[in-house]
């Protein structure tokens, strides 16, 4: 499932992030990937355990886990501290798949990457190219969102970042281990949860909505890992 989640960060937060990131020291993005990824990755990145990355990442993590749409879609169990990257001057990240197991740079705890998230920090008109392209059974899906918005998609997806041919694309990205490992099961739970919320908004609580909520939680009880 791919899902656009708007307004994870406010315009003021985006402005403050960009000001602080503009003064940061970036490193070669290939330092955070294996040998296969290094062949197709050309970008810059904040050091993963730098104080600035951890401080700004904590703001993003809190905003995401407190967002009802993100929580319903990702059902987060663990969230890796966000990374930050920048693309300019033709930089790109070719077709790749995210590593399945990540290590928290602070706690050293391992995390299974189930859900990938990109939070855009540059508005689309600030750069040319740079679309996040996610491949699935229905083809290629290009994503280029307003600053402060997020896209989530299965970490099992093959994807790329198209070359940035003008301007600069700044973003944050992170991985979540979900309570529900399977993307199809997460998608079903998300659809059920969203429809229950719509029914409750339209008709209030009733025997039917209580029954559907019970069905949701029984499925979650069956599939969840904690």
3-state SS of 155-213? CCCEEEECCEEEEEEEEEEEEEEECCCCHHHHHHHHHHHHHHHHHHHHHCCCHHHHHHH
**pLDDT score at 21:** 98
Q: Which mean pLDDT values do the consecutive 10-residue runs of the chain (226 residues) have? A: 97 98 94 78 94 98 98 98 98 95 94 98 98 94 98 97 98 98 98 97 93 97 96
97, 74, 31: which is closest to 189 by C-alpha? 74
The gap from C-alpha 51 to its chain's centroid, in whole angstroms, comes to 21
Give every CB contact of residue 135 below 8 A, 6+ residues apart in sequence. 95, 141, 157, 158, 159
pLDDT at residue 225, rounded to an integer: 95
Q: How far is CA 103 from the centre of its chain?
A: 17
Q: Please tell me the distance from the alpha carbon of residue 48 to that of residue 32, in angstroms, as a whole number.
A: 8
Angle at which helices 11-22 and 51-65 cross, to 10°:
160
For position 36, what pLDDT does the model report? Answer: 72
| Cα 111 to Cα 178: distance, rounded to the nearest angstrom | 10
Q: 153 to each of 40, 53, 59, 131, how far by Cα in Å?
A: 20, 22, 21, 14
Give CATH for domain 3-178. Answer: 2.60.120.620
Domain borders along the chain are: 3-178, 183-223
What pLDDT does 23 receive? 95
The span from the CA of 95 to the CA of 83, in Å, is 19
What pLDDT sits at residue 38? 79
pLDDT at position 84: 98
Domain 183-223: which CATH number of 3.10.20, 2.115.10, 1.10.357, 4.10.860: 4.10.860
Q: Tell me how far apart the alpha carbons of residues 155 and 140 are, in angstroms, rounded to a whole number.
A: 15
Q: So what's the pLDDT on residue 113?
A: 98
Residue 75 backbone zone (phi > 0: left; psi -120 to 50: alpha; other: beta): left
């Amino acid at each position: 499932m791919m899902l656009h989640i708007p307004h994870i960060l406010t315009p003021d937060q985006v402005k403050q992030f960009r000001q602080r990131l503009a003064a940061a020291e970036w490193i070669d993005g290939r330092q955070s990937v294996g040998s296969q990824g290094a062949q197709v990755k050309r970008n810059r990145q904040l050091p993963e355990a730098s104080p600035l990355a951890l401080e700004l990442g904590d703001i993003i993590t809190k905003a995401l886990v407190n967002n009802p749409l993100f929580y319903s879609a990702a059902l987060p169990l663990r969230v890796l501290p966000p990374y930050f990257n920048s693309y300019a001057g033709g930089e790109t990240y070719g077709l790749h798949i995210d590593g399945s197991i990540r290590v928290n740079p602070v706690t050293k705890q391992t995390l299974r990457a189930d859900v990938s998230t990109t939070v855009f920090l540059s508005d689309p008109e600030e750069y040319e190219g740079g679309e996040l392209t996610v491949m699935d059974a229905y083809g290629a899906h290009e994503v280029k969102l307003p600053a402060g918005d997020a896209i989530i998609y299965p970490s099992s997806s093959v994807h790329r970042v198209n070359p940035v041919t003008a301007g600069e694309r700044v973003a944050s990205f992170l991985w979540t281990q979900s309570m529900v490992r399977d993307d199809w099961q997460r998608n079903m739970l998300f659809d059920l949860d969203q429809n229950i919320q719509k029914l409750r908004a339209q008709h209030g609580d009733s025997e039917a909505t209580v029954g559907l909520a019970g069905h949701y939680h029984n499925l979650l009880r069956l599939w969840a890992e904690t």
